[in-house]
Structure 1
Amino acid sequence: MEQVKYGEDYKTDFQPEEYLQMYYSTLKGAPAEGDMLEASMLFWHEAFNQGHMTGRRLLDIGTGPTIHSVISASNYCDTVYLSDFAPQNRETLRKWLDGSLQHSFKSFFQFVVDKEGKGELPNDREAMLKDKVVGIFPLDLLQAEPLMPSLFPPFDIINSSLCLEAAAQDLASYENMVRRMGRLLKDGGHVVLFGVLGESFYRVGSHSFSCLKISAEQVQDIWKRSGFTIVEWKQKATDAQCDGSVSNFEGFFLMVAQKSR
């Protein structure tokens, strides 16, 4: 039986090209995901479009090799900091930034500009996002200082998608990561978190990667205990067409939380 991958395995066994092919070929995503990808894009649009989150500087934690999670956010901040644990993911992001990445995110940009309804072209929006990216940084939430050796003042907004549950081995490590995220955020700043519920694994190519099987109640309790007020929570159960072949998540959520002042 194949050993499930986690932690340092991401640096050797996680293949960005396979991940993008499996999950982000189009906005409809992989059949095994059902409607999760399109729902997540709508969640982000609605969360940022309300205009409650303001601030110049946004840090995206665990960006991976895909930038879909920061497209909506890019219209509401001046600078975007991308980050990931795996060097090959950071290299994929650099290829997107310099225009050499073969994978296209056009359908994701099209979705956002259509929802915003301002007549913006997807290529123009992508160019705007690239202009706002300050850099692509190594980040490890399992370390006491996740962004070392880089040092930054606290951020106004932290965005993260499908990262914490993939990195945590148990609820204690999940809570430690939440508290480390909190220290990277200014008082009164916001976290926008997208995650899955009840998942123990997901596949990328021939490898299975572990995931912390966590419930909505556990997520909310940990963030509240860590000094945050949950100001928005949206949750949806798994689409019936998901067959469990590449992941076994039971649902997904988007949370907006504000750090106590």
Structure 2
Amino acid sequence: MASSTYKRYHVDGFDSRQHLEHYTSDKAETALQEDTLIFPIENLAKTFIMGHIKGDVLLDLSMGAFVHHLYAACEFFKHIIVLKVSDRCIMELKRWLDTRTGAFNWEHATKLHVEIGGDSDQLQDKEGKLRSAIPHVVICDLEKENMTDPIVLPPADCIISVCFLDVTCKDQEDYIRYLRKISRLLKPGGHLLLIACLDMTYYTVGNDKFHAFTYNEEFVRKALAGEGFVIDECKVKKRTAVSDLIDYKSVMLIDAHKKAI
């Protein structure tokens, strides 16, 4: 299949439950779990425990209906506001937030977070704490000047973004443009935590292949510097998983802060 025929995440949409089942369920391919579950949970826990990233408001702008990357964050922020470009992803996330019948089961990820952090909280207490920290899930539109118009969000102390730019951008110009819009949501001195797949060209959900913007570490470093960010830490893990679902070469976590004016 030619890349030009791949579907687009925020244009065509996908089955958000199937996406979770493919990549982050306890039944997902074990080889992928090392990168999709263990890498973000482990490294975000280490980043937050350092204590330099905390505050009142954290914005989450991530693909799909992921929540596993937010377990560590809820210990350091009063409010987590989640932004989504898809009503379907919002519905999937709200099933979990409202503990509805049929909601995706994140217990395996919760247990992993507790084990990594050595946290004595019970699993249900950890999930309850995260649910309580998310007061709002907001629809956003990347093409609007204010992505959440007509809602005006408070400036964030931190923004977490998991693979969002990877799946929404067509090219380098898109990446810079969307990164600039994301930066406007962040306070001067605030932190941007990016989790990304490097050198990816596609990912699969169900029977459909979806477009991914292909870039490397050097590009994202230059993009961040160009938009006024200073990188405090960068971790890159080479892919070891063998799977036809997705073709990235490495996963990366960047902790960068926005320069004060």
TM-score range, shorter-chain basis? over 0.9
Verify the 8 A CA contact 2:24 2:33 in the aligned structure 1: no
Unmatched 5+ stretches in structure 2: none
Q: Where has structure 1 moved over 3 Å in runs of 4 or more?
A: 7-11
Verify the 8 A CA contact 1:61 1:82 in the aligned structure 2: yes
Question: Which structure 2 residues correspond to residues 102-141 of structure 1 after superposition, within 5 A?
Answer: 102-141=103-142
Question: Which structure 2 residues correspond to residues 165-244 of structure 1 after superposition, within 5 A?
Answer: 165-239=166-240, 241-243=241-243
- 1:4 is aligned to 6
- 1:250 is aligned to 249
Secondary structure of 1:248 counterpart: coil
Residue 53 of structure 1 pairs with residue 80 of structure 2: no
Verify the 8 A CA contact 2:10 2:168 in the aligned structure 1: no
| Partner amino acid, structure 1, of 2:21 | Q
Secondary structure of 1:188 counterpart: strand
Change in 2 beyond 3 A, CA 1:142/1:249: farther
TM-score normalised according to structure 1 size: 0.93
Unmatched 5+ stretches in structure 1: none
Q: Output the CA distance in 2 between the equivalents of 1:9 and 1:206.
A: 17
Quote the offset at 1:224 in angstroms: 0.7
Quote the offset at 1:149 in angstroms: 2.0
Quote the offset at 1:144 in angstroms: 2.3
TM-score normalised according to structure 2 size: 0.93
Q: Output the CA distance in 2 between the equivalents of 1:255 and 1:188.
A: 15
Secondary structure of 1:214 counterpart: coil
- 1:82 is aligned to 82
Quote the offset at 1:79 in angstroms: 0.5
Q: Output the CA distance in 2 between the equivalents of 1:6 and 1:121.
A: 39
| Partner amino acid, structure 2, of 1:121 | Q
Give the share of equivalent positions with the same residue, in percent.
25
Quote the offset at 1:115 in angstroms: 2.2
Q: Output the CA distance in 2 between the equivalents of 1:34 and 1:56.
A: 31
Q: Output the CA distance in 2 between the equivalents of 1:94 and 1:183.
A: 26
Q: Output the CA distance in 1 between the equivalents of 2:76 and 2:121.
A: 15
Q: Output the CA distance in 1 between the equivalents of 2:24 and 2:119.
A: 25
Q: Output the CA distance in 1 between the equivalents of 2:172 and 2:165.
A: 10
Q: Output the CA distance in 2 between the equivalents of 1:222 and 1:178.
A: 8
Secondary structure of 1:187 counterpart: strand
Q: Output the CA distance in 2 between the equivalents of 1:155 and 1:211.
A: 27
Quote the offset at 1:32 in angstroms: 5.8
| Partner amino acid, structure 1, of 2:60 | D
| Partner amino acid, structure 1, of 2:8 | Y
Q: Output the CA distance in 1 between the equivalents of 2:10 and 2:108.
A: 32
Change in 2 beyond 3 A, CA 1:10/1:73: farther
Q: How many residues align?
A: 256
Quote the offset at 1:31 in angstroms: 4.4
Q: Output the CA distance in 2 between the equivalents of 1:59 and 1:30.
A: 29
Q: CA RMSD in A?
A: 1.6
Quote the offset at 1:208 in angstroms: 0.7
Q: Output the CA distance in 2 between the equivalents of 1:166 and 1:75.
A: 28
Q: Output the CA distance in 2 between the equivalents of 1:10 and 1:257.
A: 31
Quote the offset at 1:63 in angstroms: 4.9
Q: Output the CA distance in 1 between the equivalents of 2:21 and 2:116.
A: 25
| Partner amino acid, structure 1, of 2:250 | G
